A and B are shown apart, each in its own frame.
Chain A
Amino acid sequence: QVQLQESGPGLVKPSQTLSLTCTVSGGSISSGSYYWSWIRQPAGKGLEWIGRIYTSGSTNYNPSLKSRVTISVDTSKNQFSLKLSSVTAADTAVYYCARYTQDSSSWYNAFDIWGQGTMVTVSS
């Protein structure tokens, strides 16, 4: 079965760029009607969708973060990545990667597989 695993630094200094990678195992990142997404959750708070990428390379970003976010995909490594620039303490959160499956014929549109999450702290 497909599994996702986030990796990257757990501590980032203010004004620097947060970089995370999500490795997909048990299946090809290029197959199927999947969008590969990033979602974050500050401690004790709710979930915020950051953005997504299709294997074609097309992206969508949350307008609230769009100026600072870049999501890319490396199909040869079966990975996709998140970069968030000019971070502040408000970006401290658990970051999840997730697969969004879109199947209009069956109305199956959902974040059906998630990574375990990785905590990123922004602090000097």
Chain B
Amino acid sequence: AIQMTQSPSSLSASVGDRVTITCRASQGIRNDLGWYQQKPGKAPKLLIYAASSLQSGVPSRFSGSGSGTDFTLTISSLQPEDFATYYCLQDYNYPPTFGQGTKLEIK
């Protein structure tokens, strides 16, 4: 199975900060990568698909980039509701695999 490694595992930031989370695949996955946001006690929510396409209804402060093995999720100006855990997911081949998550906390 393809291994997905996210960094950092946790991150402290302030409202208004620009934040970047990275995800690295153990082999090339083209752009078959999504980003999901999960808040405590809730199901994950799709933010980005195909590495850089914004899911309908998701604020434009979220953006994704990358191809091959290295990907990033950027939040341009953190809002209070953005503090959550973020996961990347590769669906290039089976089984789909998630990164271990990045917990974004308030500084």
Contacts and interface: CB of A to CB of B under 8 A. Distances in A.
The size class of the interface chain B forms with chain A is 20 to 34
Interface in A83-124: 96, 98, 100, 107-112, 114-117
Interface in B61-107: 87, 89, 91, 94-101
A37 B3 CA distance: 20
A5 B46 CA distance: 18
A107 B43 contact: no
Nearest to A97: B43
A48 B36 contact: no
A112 B89 CA distance: 12
B14 interface: no
Contacts of B32: 109
Interface string A38-55: 000000001111000000
- Residue among A63, A64, A114 with max Cβ neighbours from chain B (10 Å): A114
Contacts, number: 60
B44 interface: yes
Contact of A116 (B43, B49, B95): B43
B55 A110 contact: yes
Interface in B5-39: 31-32, 34, 36
Contacts of A116: 42-43
Given A49-B95, A62-B95, A63-B1, A111 B34 contact: yes
